[in-house]
Amino acid sequence: MAHACLRRCARPSNNRGVTTADLPRRIAHLDMDAFFASVELLRYPQLQGLPVVIGGRRHTPEDEAQLIAQWGGLENIPLEAFDRLGSYVGRGVITTATYPARKFGLGSAMGMMKAARLCPQAILLPIDFARYRSYSRQFKAVIVSIAPVMEDRGVDEVYIDFTHVPGGQEQGGRVLAARIQQAIQSATGLSCSVGVAPNKLLAKMASEFQKPQGISVVYAEDLQALIWPLPCRKINGIGPKAGAKMQALGIETIADLAARSLPWLVQHFGKSYGAWLHAAAHGQDERPVVTESEPVSMSRETTFVHDLHAVQHKAELGAVFTRLCERVAEDLQRKGYAGRTIGIKLRYANFKSVTREITVEQFTQEAVTIRQIAGQCLRRVPLEQPLRLLGVRVGGLVVWDAAQQQPRSAEKVAIKRHMQSRDLLTLPLF
Each residue's pLDDT tens digit, 156-208: 999 999 999 999 999 999 999 999 999 999 999 999 999 999 999 999 999 99
- Tell me the pLDDT band of 22, cut-offs 50, 70 and 90: confident
12 lies in a domain? no
3-state secondary structure of 219: coil
Longest dimension (CA), the chain: 79
Q: What pLDDT digit, counting tens, does each position of 248-257 carry?
A: 999 999 999 9
What pLDDT score does 93 carry?
Answer: 84
Q: What are phi and psi of 150, to 5 degrees?
A: -125, 135
CB 221 within 8 A of CB 232: no
Asked if residue 23 has pLDDT above 70, the reply is yes
307 lies in a domain? yes
156 lies in a domain? yes
CA distance 208 to 2: 27
CA distance 397 to 162: 31
CB 182 within 8 A of CB 219: no
Cβ-count burial 245-256 (b if 16+ within 10 Å, e if not): ebeeeebebbbb
Flag the least confident range among 211-215, 260-264, 395-399, 423-427: 423-427
What pLDDT score does 349 carry?
Answer: 87
DSSP annotation of 223: I
CB 180 within 8 A of CB 150: no
Asked if residue 291 has pLDDT above 70, the reply is yes
Residue-range definition of the domain harbouring residue 119: 25-217
Clarify whether 326 is annotated catalytic: no
What pLDDT score does 78 carry?
Answer: 95
Q: What CATH code is carried by the domain that includes residue 174?
A: 3.30.70.270
CA distance 153 to 157: 6
Where would I find the H helices in 270-345?
271-281, 314-335
Q: What CATH code is carried by the domain that includes residue 237?
A: 1.10.150.20
Mean pLDDT score of the chain: 87
Q: Counting Cβ atoms within 10 Å, is residue 406 exposed (0-12), middle (13-18) or buried (19+)?
A: middle
Mean local confidence (pLDDT), 128-142: 94
What percent of the chain shows pLDDT beyond 90? 70
Q: Is the peptide bond preceding residue 386 cis, with omega within 30 degrees of 0? A: no
Please tell me whether residues 196 and 273 are part of one structural domain: no
Asked if residue 244 has pLDDT above 50, the reply is yes
Please tell me whether residues 82 and 184 are part of one structural domain: yes
Flag the least confident range among 88-97, 211-220, 388-397: 88-97
Mean local confidence (pLDDT), 210-224: 95
Catalytic residue among 75, 80, 151, 157: 157
Mean local confidence (pLDDT), 225-246: 94
Between 165 and 109, name the one with better pLDDT: 165
Please tell me whether residues 48 and 161 are part of one structural domain: yes
Q: What is the dihedral of CA 132, 133, 137, 143, to 10 degrees?
A: 50
Instruction: Domain count for the chain, please give it.
Output: 3
Q: What CATH code is carried by the domain that includes residue 395?
A: 3.30.1490.100
Please tell me whether residues 310 and 274 are part of one structural domain: no
Q: What is the dihedral of CA 48, 53, 54, 56, to 10 degrees?
A: -140
Q: Is the peptide bond preceding residue 231 cis, with omega within 30 degrees of 0? A: no
200: part of which helix (H) or strand (E)? helix 200-206
CA distance 97 to 40: 11
Mean local confidence (pLDDT), 109-125: 92
What pTM was estimated for this model as a whole?
A: 0.72
406 lies in a domain? yes
Q: What pLDDT digit, counting tens, does each position of 388-425 carry?
A: 999 999 998 988 887 777 886 544 434 444 444 333 33
291: part of which helix (H) or strand (E)? none
What pLDDT score does 150 carry?
Answer: 96
What pLDDT score does 416 carry?
Answer: 42
What pLDDT score does 56 carry?
Answer: 81
> Where a domain ends, among 217, 239, 266?
217
Where would I find the H helices in 16-111?
35-43, 61-71, 99-102
CA distance 20 to 7: 7
Asked if residue 303 has pLDDT above 70, the reply is yes
Please tell me whether residues 328 and 361 are part of one structural domain: yes
Structural Rg of the chain based on CA atoms:
24
Mean local confidence (pLDDT), 346-364: 91
**C-alpha distances in angstroms, 299 versus 51, 276, 362, 413?**
32, 28, 19, 26
The one-letter code for the residue type at 305 is V
- Tell me the pLDDT band of 8, cut-offs 50, 70 and 90: very low
